């Protein structure tokens, strides 16, 4: 079995450090701007919490029939930190076993977690923006209020921007590192065979 190169081992440590930022910095942010809020409103999604102008957003969303955003309604705030801790623990196992196959598997698990997380976030936003209270004071026939998964969208008089926050960029960097070093390890392996 092929062993990891020194740069490959170092990349495991870098990935774990990138993911450690999830516990101390916000992952995602949703910024909203409207004429009545020239300073804007912000919600920051952390690994295990949601912070920012959540109460104001809930008050506004009540008028169009959206459900309140409450931390306790998100099972993700329980299982996502657990998944990340397990994944980081597997990284230590990759270092101990020192095998390229383990590294490739570890990278594949990360990609699966990333894809699942984006799908889960999209599903939450879809339900949040489409399952409206029929008794809401303001109704716009045929309109949903789903915020963008990533990027910009205009909803009524609000301009909304959804994007990674600081820990989100570190999370993305971890994925980029894994892809680059999988390629690096594979290329080194090919050179050794030839």
Instruction: Spell out the domain ranges in the chain.
Output: 6-189
Phi and psi dihedrals of 45, rounded to 5? -100, 120
The gap between the terminal CA atoms of the chain, to the nearest Å, is: 16
- CB contact at 8 A, 18 and 174: yes
Query: What is the DSSP secondary structure assignment for residue 144, as one 8-state letter?
Result: -
Decide the pairing of beta strands 50-52 and 28-34: unpaired
101/86 Cα distance (integer angstroms): 18
At the second CATH level, the architecture of 6-189 is Up-down Bundle (1.20)
Q: pTM value?
A: 0.88
| Run means of pLDDT, 10 residues per run, the chain, 194 residues | 89 97 96 91 95 91 83 90 96 96 96 92 86 79 80 89 96 96 86 58
């Amino acid at each position: 079995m092929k062993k990891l190169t020194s740069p490959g081992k170092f990349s495991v440590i870098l990935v774990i450090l990138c993911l450690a930022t999830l516990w101390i910095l916000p992952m995602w942010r949703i910024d909203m701007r409207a004429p009545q809020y020239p300073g804007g409103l912000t919600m920051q999604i952390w690994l295990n919490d949601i912070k920012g102008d959540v109460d104001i957003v809930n008050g506004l969303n009540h008028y169009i029939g959206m459900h309140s955003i409450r931390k306790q309604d998100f099972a993700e705030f329980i299982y996502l930190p657990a998944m990340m801790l397990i994944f980081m623990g597997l990284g230590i196992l990759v270092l101990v076993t020192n095998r390229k196959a383990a590294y490739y598997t570890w990278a594949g698990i990360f990609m699966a977690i990333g894809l699942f997380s984006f799908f889960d976030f999209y599903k939450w936003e879809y339900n949040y923006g489409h399952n409206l209270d029929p008794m809401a004071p303001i109704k716009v026939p045929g309109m949903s209020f789903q915020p963008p998964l990533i990027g910009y969208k205009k909803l009524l008089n609000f301009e909304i921007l959804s994007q990674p926050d600081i820990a989100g960029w570190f999370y993305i960097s971890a994925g980029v590192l894994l892809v680059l070093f999988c390629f690096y390890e594979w290329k080194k392996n090919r050179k050794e065979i030839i």
